[in-house]
Amino acid sequence: MEINLVSDTVTKPTQEMLRYMFQAQVGDDVYKQDPTVNALESMVASIFGMESAMFFPSGTMANQTAIKLHTQPGEQLIADKWSHIFNYEGGGVSFNSGVSCCLLNGDRGMITAEQVAGAINNPEFYHSPLTSLVCVENTTNKGGGACYDFEEFKRIRKVCDDNGLKFHLDGARIWNALVHKKENPNEYGKVFDTISVCLSKGLGAPIGSVLISDKATIDRAFRVRKIFGGGMRQAGYLAAAGIYALQNNINRLVDDHRRAKELGVVLQKLPWVEKVEPVETNILIFSLKAGVSEQLLIEKLKQKSIYISSMGHGKLRIVTHLDYKEVMHTYVIEALQKLT
């Protein structure tokens, strides 16, 4: 029994999801003729109370498209220093859009309206790049699955409005935040210009993200996705997995959150653990006592068929997900408690 807690991207479709995929009606989505893709896009747009949506093969491409839509080369966006768009999208901000990043020192990956206001360059001062976009992430990946207070989003929105900036949400794990905070996704549609949501992490679909916005913006996104090579043909088989995930796998995220919190409680009591970051959703980050080898711990767990990941700088990460069952959870807890 292999237990992969490296990421929630490792999940595989269930038999029920596969059956739903095989039954999908499909067409050529490049011509907007795939009925299942069209249904998924309409469904996600409706969930967030926005006009239109577009299916993408990855969250990175959805984020990069949003940045391209909201900026011009030579401009600057504001984001947290731990943001996915800066750290884990291959330098796409500069490569695809010719944009630089003003990185803020937030709290567990979360920035404030006050920080944003202080980072905006004077548009009259032509020596500095023109600030045009603010990007936030919810939940925060490198911040250990932390969730923003929605009131902070409203405050940042006001700063954006006052300064003519666009506001993008990287919602790779937005479903975890919505479940944990018991929030209404329609409220998100009122605050953000664009939102990317992922279907292949906590929801367990094999591939795909959706970018949501107003109709005019998504019409423009169609061309950018084509330029990035993201046009897919009979993508309805993949979109069907997304529809199934949205209908069946959102409420069960509470199980992932519970298990991550229980693992956090166990780790806090172990003599070789220095610190466990606060656990809100399905990501657990912890650090080891001085002198305890990170690689040795990873190797010892691997010998027990348990896989976790290193984030560097002495931090380790565990991510719970759809394929991590209760019997595995019991086994992992016992294995951690027995490690010396």
pTM of the model: 0.96
Q: How far apart are the first and last CA of the chain?
A: 22
| Confidence (pLDDT) at 314 | 78
DSSP 120: P
Q: How many CB atoms lie within 10 A of CB 129?
A: 17
| pLDDT over 70 percentage in the chain | 100
| Confidence (pLDDT) at 89 | 97
CATH 3.90.1150.10-classified regions of the chain: 3-8+252-338
| Confidence (pLDDT) at 125 | 96
Q: How many CB atoms lie within 10 A of CB 12?
A: 10
| Confidence (pLDDT) at 313 | 77
Cis preceding-peptide flag for 340 (omega within 30 of 0): no
Identity of residue 159: V
The per-residue pLDDT for range 15-65, each reduced to its tens digit, is: 999 999 999 999 999 999 999 999 999 999 999 999 999 999 999 999 999
Q: What is the CATH number of domain 14-248?
A: 3.40.640.10
Confidence of residue 311 (pLDDT cuts 50, 70, 90): confident
Could you tell me whether strands 76-80 and 52-56 are parallel, antiparallel, or unpaired per DSSP bridges?
unpaired
What is the C-alpha to C-alpha distance for residues 168 and 145, in angstroms, rounded to an integer? 18
CATH class of 3-8+252-338: alpha beta
Mean predicted lDDT score pLDDT of the chain? 97
The per-residue pLDDT for range 133-171, each reduced to its tens digit, is: 999 999 999 999 999 999 999 999 999 999 999 999 999
Confidence of residue 1 (pLDDT cuts 50, 70, 90): confident
Mean pLDDT of 177-182: 98
CATH 3.40.640.10-classified regions of the chain: 14-248
| Confidence (pLDDT) at 260 | 98
